[in-house]
Structures are given as C-alpha cells and as structure tokens.
Chain A
C-alpha cells in the first residue's frame, strides 16, 4: 500500500501545474448569469479547446482514439490539480467527454469514431443525454420512446426528461425502444440524434435551486438515420451499461475537493459569527457545532482515502466494482449534514441566495450548496438504488422479488 506518487506521477503533476499557472490567468471570466446557456457553452467549450491544445483532452480515453491514455492515478491528479487551481469544471462537455465519447470509442464503428470523437475532444460539439423519461426513472429499462424503422431511417416519438444542456447541444445520446414486444432490457437501441433534426422541442425546467439546470425534451416523429445506431439494434441496454464500466473512481474528485474548501470557508465563517444576539462567543465556540464540523472534516478526509482506494483498484483491476456506490452514499450523507450545520451557522443569512447590498457575499454559496446537495441523493442512481446495489452485489442479499 503506497500513497506516495511515483516519479512519473510527480512529473505529470508538476507539468500540469506549470501549464495551469500559465493558462488560467488568460481564461475569460465565467458567465455571471447561469441561465445564459450560450455563454455557458462558449465558456466550457473554450476550456475544452485549451485542454485539447495542451494534450489533456480525453485524459482517460485510449490514445488510439485521440485521448491521453492517462492512468487512473494520473486522472486523479489531473482532477485534483485543476480543482485546486480553480480551473473551470467540465460543465457542458460532461456528457460528451465522460459518457458519449467513451461509449462511441468502445462500441462505435470506425466511421462513427471518426465522425464524432474529434469534435468532442476539441470542444467543437456539445452532447446531451436522452435516457430518463417521465415514466422511466430508477426503472430506466421501462423507457417507452418509440423508434419505428422507415427505410434507412428511424422515426422517433416520445418524451425525455432531466436532459442537461439540451438547449445548446449538437447531439443527443438517445435510448429508444425498437422492439416493444421483447423483454424490456432487450428491445432498446442506443442511437445518436443530431439536435438540429426536425421535430425536437426542448423546454427548460427550473430546478429547485431556481436555475434552469435541465430540460424536458419532446420528440415528434424525428427522423434519425439507421447508421447512427451505436452497437446493434436492440442491444442498446448493454451499450448503455458499458459506459458505467468506464468509471475509475474519479467521478466525484472535483466535488469532494470542492467540499473540503467549502468546509474551510464554513469554519472561517463560524469563527466570526456570534453564537447569538449580543453574545461575545462565536458559533465555533459551541462544542456541538465545532465537533460536528470536525466530524464532517474527518469524513471528507476518509472519503478522500476511499477515493484513492477506488482509483488504485481501477488501476489494478480495470474497474472499481461497487466502490462508486459506496462513495456516493457516504459522500451524500456527509454533505447533507454539512448543509444542516451551514444553515445553523448562517442564521438569518440563510434567507438570501443573492446579495444586492454586498453584505454577506460569502454566505451565499453555502445556502446554494445546501439546496444543491439534495440532488446528490437522486441524480445518477438514487440513494435507494445505490443501497440495493451495495446490499445485493456486495453483501449478496437476495433481490426483493
């Protein structure tokens, strides 16, 4: 067991740090208005282009498909250094670089790889994901968006939901039902839908935070060429599952390091916030609050150790197994309690999500984050589904049915 980095890993980190130091000051400011999707797209794809030019695009992708072929540990270092340096997040390029791209690299034809991968790596194209439906959430395989063959096209009708970036995407990785008579997992096809096709209507939805983070997407007889199918017709469930095999334990690295920074900030606030009206002691002087913050600090440290365990496992065995589910459950639990303490420390400063007078600017992030963390228990597999995964796949407990 070693936590120390090899000399190659140290060199990778030093080179990256040098590049970040030189590059980040030249980047434009992120857009202020988080509902301004064209500006968000421009910012995120601009960063992706910088990564591409420097050889950091597709960091975990195999070299033969234009990626860097970095080891899981190098990917961990990349995420750690970019987060600590305050570099932009992957943002709009999330689905393309971490989901659709690797899937096409693994399952696509040579023509499909040549068509889609360069645009993803260069940040020219933005992708969205059309998987979930109003009637197909945790039970994703029950999806009903129909694709009917008509010559060399499919005609697709149905409704998708939680589609992030849909209003600025060029392509959608879409799951459709091509065989309504087959068992539910066997009649699904994975297909690339160009977002400029006729018959697509995108309706942004306002998230609980008040920001338009995702959309509903209505498909009305959208014609998609048969050649856009990745993998075989009716083999889309397997193709979609392939993507999960790419998880190398790094999915939450930026999140986790961001949380550590957020905790430090919260501690600073607690040290300056009076414990109550007219009191001279601060929130930090309260042993309950202080120890709760320390518990959260210990848990984040422990989850960082678990991340290194998962990454090392991926490096040795190619996959993290249920390590990702373990991490997600632990992390969300900690973040929920961190949100509770944050609001307790903030007191009435919790009442505002923006600050026209500039009196409590640093408090705002904590209110926003307290709302945001609610999504951690829902997105990418609800907490209940994750517990089933841990209980059934790791502990070997019987399925409910």
Chain B
C-alpha cells in the first residue's frame, strides 16, 4: 500500500494547475459567461490536448492510458479553477466505444466537441448553446443525442457560469449503452463530480484563508480570532477527508479493473462490434465481483462527503468575507453555486446515500 500520489501524478496535476492559473484567471472565468453556452472552445481544445478528456482511454484508442485515480487529481484542479462547461459529459463521451457516436466520441477526446450530460427526461439542460451532443443516462440505458432545438434560455441561472435552458423534448438519439453502461457512467460521473467539489472546496478555503490573514478588524488580522480560525479549520478538515475519499475511490476503480484482467483499460474499453457498444472504459464496475462492489461503495461515500465538504467550505468562504461575501463582485458565490450545480448531474448525494444505506 502506498496511498500517496506518485511524483508522476503530482507532476501531471501541477502541469494542469499551472495552465489553469494562467488561463482561467478570475477575470477570464467571468468573461466565459458571455460566450455561447458559457464554453470557451479554445480552452476546451487545449484541455483536450492535455489529455484531460481522454485520460483513461487506452493508448491504442488514442488515449493517455492513465487511471481514474489520475482523473480525480485532474478534476480537482478543474474544480479549483471552477472551469465552466460540461466537463464530465465530455469526459464520458470520449470513453464511448462502438461505432455509433464514434465521431462525437473522437472529437470529445480531443476537446473538439462539447458534450452535455443529463438524466432521463430533463426539464433543465445546461450549456445548451455550446453543445455538439448530449448524453442521456437513464436506468435502462445511455442515449446519445444532438443539441435540443427550440429550448428557452433561463435568464437567471443559479450559477452564472452554468447557463440553463428549459427543454420541452430532446431530439431522438441513438442507444449507445445498456443498463450496465448507465450504471458505470453514473459511477464515474459521480466520482468526477466529487473530485470537482473537492477542488471547489479547496479554492474556497484558500480564498477565505488569504483574506483572513489580510483583513484587519479590532486592530488585528481576523484570522487570529478563534471564531474565524476554527470555521476555516473545520472546512479544511472536511476538505482533507473528502480528498482522501475521492482519491481512494479512484484507486478502487483502477484496482477493480486490474482484477477483471483489464490491462491499461483495454479489456473493458468497449466492444467494437457496433451491436452493444459499451460506454465508459477501463473498468467493470457493474460486475458482481467484490472489488467492483467496493469501488461503487467508495464512490458513493466520496460523493456524500465531497458534497458536504464543498457546501461547508464554500459557505465558510462567504461568511469569512462578511458583507463582501454576499456580493456578486467576489468569487465566493461562484464556488458555492457550482458546488450546488454538481449535486444534480446524473446521480446525486441523496441517491448515493440510499445506495450506501442498502449496503450497510
């Protein structure tokens, strides 16, 4: 056992962090809100070039050939920068196997397609104006469809960086996976949402901590007051526990895949016969093996604690900033709102609670 990131993993994470620090500054992030569907397609392409979307695809399919543990590290960085756009949908689309949707899948892998992700019969669809395709994950299977037409844009979305449309009906799509694939996408999507929330929590604690060191009241830095210090310490505790849980879940998925004989994700990457293409890759989460069950439970646990950690940290960030925390001008509200958005992708912390309760 060695549950610390390797030097390679830290380097990979640091590389993306440097890129995002430079590219997704607070000003640049706000500017993205004015682009169609709030997606910066150049940024998307660059993320694709860095292997973000094809990270867990085997090299034989043009991927990076890394694992889900690595994916949690990168998605934490994407969360820390609160990068706008359907990151999880595009990542999952890149992993689709089979002939149907191969074009979209290939372009998602390179960051040249923007793919959304919604549960069955959605009323609200995010990032519509930017979408090249949409993955619909229902209990009975996965469908790939096009951009919804005739939708009406919501003027005041919860998160200004997550534009939302009201959609009456989705275009007819193509089945790209069955119930097992749907379960797998839910699990991987849940893991990545949790990783994004860990990053958001970290961004919130960092922003608030820097402010608490700087802001003076009653003649001293407010961070010296235990009332403030303990609020931030509690947020940090939640964050550290959630980070460990999320990374452990990523490792469990990778190790479960190794158990089923997957080599670099080759085995489970999807069938090429075009008949029943598998979605996702590199894992066999729906299998009845013990490792697969352990991985699913680990993802449920990660989702539950990461959601709570992000909620606690982003609210603490607003509180520490006082009146300014309640303004639009500060980024604190963006972190809070994105964390709330991530609770309702496919799956949710509540669904994870019921799944985990059933396993207790």
A residues lining the B interface (CB < 8 Å): 1-6, 9, 73, 76, 263-264, 267, 290-291, 293-295, 297-299, 301-303, 305-306, 308-309, 311-313, 315-316, 323, 326, 329-330, 384, 386-388, 390-392, 394-400
Contact = CB atoms under 8 A, between A and B. Distances in A.
B242 interface: yes
Contacts of B248: 3, 302, 305, 308-309
Contacts of A400: 224-226
8 contacts: A290-B357, A291-B350, A291-B353, A301-B298, A305-B245, A311-B3, A395-B223, A398-B213
A298 B304 contact: yes
B244 interface: yes
Contacts of B360: 263-264, 267, 293-294, 297
Given A1-B251, A329-B233, A387-B229, A312 B3 contact: yes
Contacts of B300: 298
Interface in B340-360: 350, 352-354, 356-357, 360
B302 A326 contact: no
Interface residues of B, number: 53
A308 B213 CA distance: 32
Contacts of A76: 1
B301 interface: yes
Interface stretch (B4-12, B106-114, B141-149, B177-185): B4-12
B43 to A, nearest CB: 28
Contact of B247 (A1, A4, A263, A392): A1
B289 interface: no
A367 B330 CA distance: 47
Contact of B205 (A3, A295, A315, A395): A395
A398 B224 contact: yes
A329 B245 contact: no
Q: Which of A3, A267, A305, A384 has most chain B Cβ within 10 Å?
A: A305
Contacts of B225: 400
A302 B353 CA distance: 14
B357 A293 contact: yes
Contacts of A6: 1
Nearest to A271: B360
A395 B236 contact: yes
Interface string B150-182: 000000000000000000000000000000000
Given A3-B1, A267-B360, A302 B229 contact: no
B292 to A, nearest CB: 15
B241 interface: yes
A313 to B, nearest CB: 6
Contacts of A390: 233, 236-237
Nearest to A72: B1
Contact of A297 (B234, B247, B301): B301
Contacts of A397: 209, 212-213, 221, 223-224, 228-229, 232
A298 B241 CA distance: 11
Given A329-B237, A330-B237, 18 more contacts: A1-B4, A1-B247, A2-B3, A73-B1, A290-B357, A299-B304, A301-B245, A302-B244, A302-B305, A305-B245, A308-B1, A308-B244, A309-B3, A326-B236, A390-B237, A395-B209, A395-B229, A398-B223
Contact of B245 (A302, A386, A392): A302
B236 A306 contact: no
B6 A1 contact: yes
Interface in B253-292: 255
A329 B235 CA distance: 11
B237 A308 contact: no
Contacts of B4: 1, 309, 312-313, 316
Nearest to A386: B233
A326 B244 CA distance: 12
Contacts of A392: 229
A387 B230 contact: yes
B132 interface: no
A208 B200 CA distance: 41
Contacts of B304: 294-295, 298-299
B297 interface: yes
B42 interface: no
Contacts of B69: 1
A303 B244 CA distance: 8
A140 B263 CA distance: 55
B240 interface: yes
B2 interface: yes
A387 B2 contact: no
A387 B234 contact: yes
Given A1-B69, A399-B224, A400-B224, A298 B237 contact: no
A330 B238 contact: yes
B244 A2 contact: no
B229 A391 contact: yes
B252 interface: yes
A387 B244 contact: no
Contacts of B252: 3
Interface centre among B4, B233, B305 (most CB of A within 10 A): B233
Contacts of B234: 329, 387
A315 B2 contact: yes
A302 B307 CA distance: 13
Contact of A391 (B233, B241, B245, B305): B233
Which 3 pairs from chain A and chain B are nearest by CB?
A302-B245, A391-B229, A305-B248
B223 A5 contact: no
Contacts of B238: 330
**Max chain B CB contacts within 10 Å: which of A76, A309, A386?**
A309
A398 B241 CA distance: 24
Nearest to B249: A305
B341 to A, nearest CB: 21
B221 to A, nearest CB: 5
B241 A3 contact: no
Given A263-B360, A308-B1, A313-B4, A294 B353 contact: yes
